[in-house]
Chains A and B, each alone.
Chain A
């Protein structure tokens, strides 16, 4: 699904070298490692947001959800359907899905609210739903539990488990119970970065 070979990323003042790895389809892969080992850098490279050397072979559409959710100045609903609108997809066909995801993550009552006025946790939930609503093949989640309370983490775990057969997840998280609950495979980083 995603294969990395000889990947080197120079980001700001650090050079990261990543071991070769193959992320498999319909698996939940966890990228682990201590602070500063390049987890976010790797996710950004996989989604081509930053330049890199080496090979990244991606099979399918990929989307990256950052650890600080960036929402647009419009309603929660309009944020969620943004990827559908830009693909000219019929929103009616996604109504059921939107209802389901927003209900599972307990934000169904916020659909008409301006997304910029939501709490950090609610913003994260909107951002995650927006990342999965258009059925990408691979979803990269960077610290998705950062702003979430315990109940919300359970809700998110349920949703990801439900979607596991349809999507491939690659997740960076320091929340050990969340990771243990979801992990199919683990790609551990560490030691291969040099400060210039």
Chain B
């Protein structure tokens, strides 16, 4: 049965079925957009938290690290309650925008947390050296960003992996509507529940291929840094 379903899945992929490719495109588009937004704000936040001294720093870091592991379905629930509660008037429920918001919030702590960890490891010596060479705060922040660039790229890739592979949040706030808010993971979940394993396997193959490319990139950045 596994072999038969896999053969069917490969056939499906090469049949260039428009529904399948629309789903793949939507998944990639939303996850990329969410990761880009989270990366922009996450990098700034992560660096600011790591280089600043403030009263609730330890507590803030604990919150960030806790949210790094939040189950997607819980994040979906939080966004669902927000868009059907205080932001009800914006009509976001079961829209691509809601999926984008949920994924952005899911990825943000991953980027912030990873940047805090990597930045705190290296920043003290780098910032101390820059200070003795006459660098001001702006120079120090730009230097730090350049020095931890491989870690930032690794965080972004990890964040994108998380966005692309999560199912709980997009299912709750997007509703898995055909030709509208259906993405790869919700498509797999739906077909799985209906016993259409070949469809699920086809999407699984695509997800695995994307994961392979991402982790090859990740390994390269790691290698660049540690060589």
Determine whether A82 belongs to the interface, using a CB cutoff of 8 Å to chain B: yes
Q: Is the CB of B143 within 8 A of A72?
A: yes
Which A residue sits closest to B138, measured CB to CB? A86
A sample of 26 inter-chain contacts (CB < 8 A) reads A49-B128, A49-B131, A49-B132, A61-B134, A62-B132, A65-B132, A66-B125, A66-B128, A70-B126, A70-B128, A70-B129, A72-B126, A72-B146, A73-B146, A73-B147, A73-B149, A74-B146, A82-B133, A86-B133, A86-B134, A86-B139, A87-B134, A130-B133, A131-B132, A131-B133, A134-B134
Q: Is the CB of B134 within 8 A of A63?
A: yes
Which B residue sits closest to A136, measured CB to CB? B134
A70 to B146, CA, bound (A): 15
- Listed residue (A47, A73, A83, A130) with the most chain B CB atoms within 10 angstroms of its CB: A73
A61 to B134, CA, bound (A): 9
A residues lining the B interface (CB < 8 Å):
47, 49, 61-66, 70, 72-74, 82-83, 86-87, 117, 130-131, 134, 136
Tally A-B pairs: CB < 8 A. Answer: 42
Which B residue sits closest to A130, measured CB to CB? B133
Checking A65, A66, A83, A117 against B134 with a beta-carbon cut-off of 8 angstroms, the contacting residue is A83
Interface majority SS (helix, strand, loop, mixed), chain B? helix
Q: Which residues of B contact A72 (CB under 8 A)?
A: 126, 143, 146-147
Which A residue sits closest to B140, measured CB to CB? A86
Checking B125, B135, B149 against A70 with a beta-carbon cut-off of 8 angstroms, the contacting residue is B125
- Among B121-165, those with CB < 8 Å from A are 125-126, 128-129, 131-136, 139, 143, 146-147, 149
Q: Is the CB of B147 within 8 A of A83?
A: no
Known: A73-B149, A83-B134, A86-B139. 15 other contacts (CB 8 A): A47-B132, A49-B131, A61-B134, A66-B125, A66-B128, A70-B125, A70-B128, A72-B126, A72-B147, A73-B146, A86-B133, A86-B136, A117-B227, A130-B133, A131-B132
- Listed residue (B128, B132, B149) with the most chain A CB atoms within 10 angstroms of its CB: B132
Q: Which residues of B contact A62 (CB under 8 A)?
A: 132
Give the number of residues in B that approach A within 8 Å (Cβ atoms).
16
Q: Which residues of A contact B143 (CB under 8 A)?
A: 72
